[in-house]
Structure 1
Amino acid sequence: MNSEMPPTAPPPLVTAASVTAVEGLVLMCLAVLEVASLTGGRLTMGLTTAVFFAAFGLLLLACGWLITRGHTWTRGPILLAQLIALGLAWNLRGGETTLISVAIGVVALIVIAGMLHPASIEAINDADGR
């Protein structure tokens, strides 16, 4: 189950993993920005938000890296994160946040498509069967 995948993971899986890792890095950057904008009136909320962003970002970064190395448990967190992103994109639609909504939605759909591509599923199932 945790054995290495073949030396070359299929391109759709590598794409999904790479985009997921970038999402993780963005969340970690948001955590840093949240800490940088802390004020006394919202210290507790700011710290908990920063910790959440950092932890979630680190998880996505790790999952993006590990999925291409045969760690099949990572597909769940990756797909769940994309479903959350689609919900966020839906909530941000309209007005000044439309462009952000579209960007989040497109990125989530790219990852979902890469993860559910037949070549990716075959590679993941092969790694799961070892």
Structure 2
Amino acid sequence: MLLGLGVLELAHLRSIRLTMGVTTSIFFLGAAAALAWCAWALWGVRRWARGPVVMVQLIQLGLAWNLWAGPTRLASAVLAVVAIAVVVGLVHPASTRALEAAEEVG
């Protein structure tokens, strides 16, 4: 989602708001890269990556809450379901055991 927002912002750059468009794109693309790094770290069973990913999912839940009214209800529901699924997966006892076991070994 963050990558898409960054690309869309770049695609809609206008000279009247060039600075805002570029800095917004840099922010979204940087956030997407950081989240991808955390996802890669979780794939490698790195415990430190769980916190940032959970934080992003909580922000996504807040965004879903704000989008609930009107024609964005479907997007809101999809965002909420994905965020909840990720958080549940990350706090599941099996995930916690795997992350703690990797911490003890490493």
Match of 1:53 among 17, 28, 38: 28
Which gives a bigger RCO, structure 1 or 2 (Cα 8 Å, sep 6+)? Answer: 1
| Deviation of the 1:119 alpha carbon | 0.5
In structure 1, the gaps of 5 or more residues are 1-25
1:15-65 Cα shifts (integer Å, max 9, x gaps): xxxxxxxxxxx3223212211110012112111111111011111111111
| Structure 2 gaps, min length 5 | none
Moved over 6 A (4+): none
Query: Match of 1:71?
Result: 46
User: Which residue of structure 2 lines up, in the alignment, with residue 99 of structure 1?
Assistant: 74
Count the aligned residue pairs.
105
State, as a whole percentage, how many aligned pairs show the same letter.
46
Query: What is the CA deviation profile of residues 101-130 of structure 1, one whole-angstrom value per residue up to 9, with x for unaligned ones?
Result: 111101100100110111001001111223
Q: With structure 1 as the length reference, what TM-score do the two structures score?
A: 0.76
Structure 2 length as normaliser, TM-score? 0.92
